[in-house]
């Protein structure tokens, strides 16, 4: 999809009129320091702790929690009605939605809603296919869970949140460096070069490193920082490799299926998903027959995803 990029008028009037030049790290740090902290970032920690609470306890309070938040309520009803679009009478009560979706999906929804809304406010300034971008992020979160489940049983929801925020650097880039961001995406749209390469060339830093620096600055858990920094090269991560590898594979699967839009226009083939470093980390020595089973399972999830995403963003 080709979306014309427009530059933000109120930012950086100096560089808007002259050639955009690559920035030194100290200039990048200086602008990053004024990028606002978002309330939902601190709630990620809280949410993660909250998610570990006994399912039963949460389940009894869930309708009450959802009811207090009108935006969550409407998102939830939209989600259940688009996932179960065949229902003769659309779902209109929270209790019914909880029944259809199950506690886990609602728990995930309560985590993602404030994060998405916060970041949407931040990104509004730059013209970019943000709605498709969020579909890419949420889809990657859902698939990260599916991918990691094939390798081990997840202990909490941190894999899901890691998948959700993996491309946060793109939002930070749009806010902090709108002119660079516009130029980067003008070039990315040509579909000839990888986004990371273009970002490094034009801005002097890529979205993975920028996102990690931002999360570090706002004291997010180390896992989130590492997942963002290494999501394109999990082999370089020292800790949390399985989760980061799952994010890489989920991201590639989303791009291969062309669901949502990551801002990277270079196409990804099925073979590239299987040959990615993360696949080897997750499934070393996997036989061909098992690879086919895994791929079929991911394909089934990918088929369901557009309905889910339609209801969420
Ligand atoms: Fe990325
Ligand atoms: Fe991505």
Tens-digit pLDDT profile for residues 128-169: 888 899 899 989 998 999 999 999 887 777 888 899 899 999
Instruction: Provide the sign of the torsion angle of the four alpha carbons 242, 243, 244, 245, taken in this order.
Output: positive
Going residue by residue through the chain, which has 313 residues, state the pLDDT in tens, using 9 for 90 and above: 444 444 443 444 444 445 789 999 999 999 999 888 776 666 555 554 554 454 545 555 677 767 777 777 877 888 788 777 677 788 888 888 877 877 777 777 777 777 777 777 777 678 888 889 989 998 999 899 999 999 988 777 788 889 989 999 999 999 999 999 999 999 999 999 999 999 999 999 999 999 999 999 988 889 999 999 999 999 999 999 999 999 999 999 999 999 999 999 999 999 999 999 999 999 998 898 998 999 999 999 899 888 888 777 7
235: DSSP letter: G
**Separation of 102 CA from ligand 2 center, angstroms?**
27
Task: Starting from the CA of residue 133, give the closest ligand.
Answer: 2
Neighbours of 72 (CB within 10 A): 20
C-alpha 83 to ligand 2 mean position (Å): 23
* C-alpha 87 – ligand 2 centre gap (Å): 33
- Ligand 1 ion: nearby residues, β-carbon < 5 Å: 167
Q: How far is CA 239 from the centre of its chain?
A: 20
Residue 193 has φ and ψ, to the nearest 5°, of -125, 150
Q: Calculate how far, in angstroms, residue 188's C-alpha sits from the geometric centre of ligand 1.
A: 13
| Cα–Cα distance, 7 to 44 (Å, whole number) | 31
Q: How far is the CA of 262 from the centre of ligand 2 (A)?
A: 5
> What is the 224 CA–ligand 1 centroid distance (Å)?
14
Dihedral sign for Cα atoms in the order 68, 52, 149, 257? positive
Q: How far is the CA of 167 from the centre of ligand 2 (A)?
A: 5
Ligand with an atom nearest the CA of residue 232: 1
What percentage of the chain has pLDDT greater than the value 70?
A: 85
Tell how far the Cα of 209 is from the centroid of ligand 1, in angstroms: 10
Among the bound ligands, the one closest to the CA of 247: 2
The number of the ligand nearest the C-alpha atom of 262 reads 2
């Amino acid at each position: 999809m080709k979306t014309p990029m427009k530059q933000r008028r109120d930012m950086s009037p100096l560089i808007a009129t002259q050639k955009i030049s690559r920035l030194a790290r100290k200039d990048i740090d200086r602008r990053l320091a004024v990028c606002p902290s978002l309330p939902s970032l601190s709630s990620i920690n809280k949410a993660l702790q909250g998610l570990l609470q006994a399912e039963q306890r949460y389940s009894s309070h869930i309708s009450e929690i959802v009811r207090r938040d009108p935006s969550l309520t409407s998102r939830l009803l939209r989600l259940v009605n688009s996932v179960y679009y065949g229902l003769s009478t659309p779902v209109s009560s929270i209790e019914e939605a909880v029944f259809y979706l199950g506690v886990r999906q609602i728990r995930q929804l309560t985590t993602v809603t404030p994060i998405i809304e916060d970041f949407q406010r931040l990104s509004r300034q730059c013209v970019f296919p943000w709605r498709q971008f969020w579909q890419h992020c949420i889809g990657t979160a859902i698939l990260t869970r599916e991918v990691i489940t094939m390798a081990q049983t997840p202990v909490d929801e941190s894999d899901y949140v890691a998948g959700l925020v993996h491309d946060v650097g793109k939002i930070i880039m749009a806010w902090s460096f709108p002119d660079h961001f516009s130029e980067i995406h003008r070039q990315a749209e040509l579909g000839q070069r990888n986004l990371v390469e273009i970002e490094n060339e034009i801005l002097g830093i890529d979205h993975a490193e920028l996102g990690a620096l931002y999360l570090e600055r706002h004291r997010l858990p180390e896992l989130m920082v590492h997942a963002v920094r290494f999501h394109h090269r999990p082999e370089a991560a020292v800790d949390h490799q399985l989760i980061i590898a799952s994010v890489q594979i989920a991201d590639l699967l989303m791009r291969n299926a062309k669901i949502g839009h990551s801002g990277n226009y270079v196409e990804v083939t099925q073979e590239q998903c299987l040959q990615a470093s993360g696949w080897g980390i997750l499934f070393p020595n996997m036989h061909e027959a098992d690879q086919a089973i895994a791929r079929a399972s991911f394909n089934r999830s990918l088929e369901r995803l557009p309905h889910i995403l339609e209801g969420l963003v």
